[in-house]
Amino acid sequence: MTGYEAFPLFRETLFPKQAKNTVNRQRIVLPNALGSMASSSLKRLRRAARELALNVLYQVDTCGMPFDEALETALEFADLSDLETRGEAVAQEARDYTRLLTEGVRSHKAELDEQISSLAVGWPLDRQPAVDRNVLRLALYEIAHVDSVPPIVAVDEAVELAKKYSTAESGKFINGVLAGYLREHKEELEAESNSDS
């Protein structure tokens, strides 16, 4: 079984966001390629990208699908019609941001899993629901490596993903783990925020 037959959880809800990026200090800095796009449109685009990225990571994690195949299948068959009404460039932004997130999580997976393991005391990775584990990876990657996403936004979006796709208690679990990360890294995050200003 390949493609979305093996992945019914997210089959109906696929979207994404974003454009070219550059690496700066091991963090991704996204240019203001969206120009005058309203913040609500940017929020929708990024939420769609996170959902699509979660789809890819979930397939790789639970179905054993090869990463490149899962990513390309998701990008090819994603229902981006809501974004495409705003133009193909916006839908492409979503695909690009999905690629950035998934490839970033893949290349930093060991680091992200180590963070999750240290923060989720009593909940080893293999005991966590697969959706929760991958939502945490996405959020921690955004917090640590994507300058254009404020940490609190990454936390809020992760909680919403968990509420939508996981168990009734997942939102609280995700919030607790990410709040712990923010507490542990408060000074570092504030310093990066001040240097960006």
Q: Which pLDDT tens digit goes with each residue over 69-103?
A: 999 999 999 888 888 777 788 889 999 999 999 99
Domain 9-196 superfamily per CATH: NusB-like (1.10.940.10)
Rounded to whole angstroms, the Cα distance separating 53 from 100 reads 9
Task: Give the whole-angstrom CA distance, residue 125 versus residue 158.
Answer: 17
Residues 7-61 have pLDDT tens digits of: 333 333 333 333 333 333 344 544 444 444 557 778 889 999 999 999 999 999 9
Pick from 132, 102, 103: which is nearest to 116 by CA?
A: 132
pTM for this one? 0.79
Rounded Cα distance between 54 and 8, Å, is 13
Q: Which structure tokens are listed for 189?
A: 């995050």
Ordered by start, the domain boundaries in the chain are 9-196
Q: How many other CB atoms are found less than 10 A from the CB of residue 168? A: 8
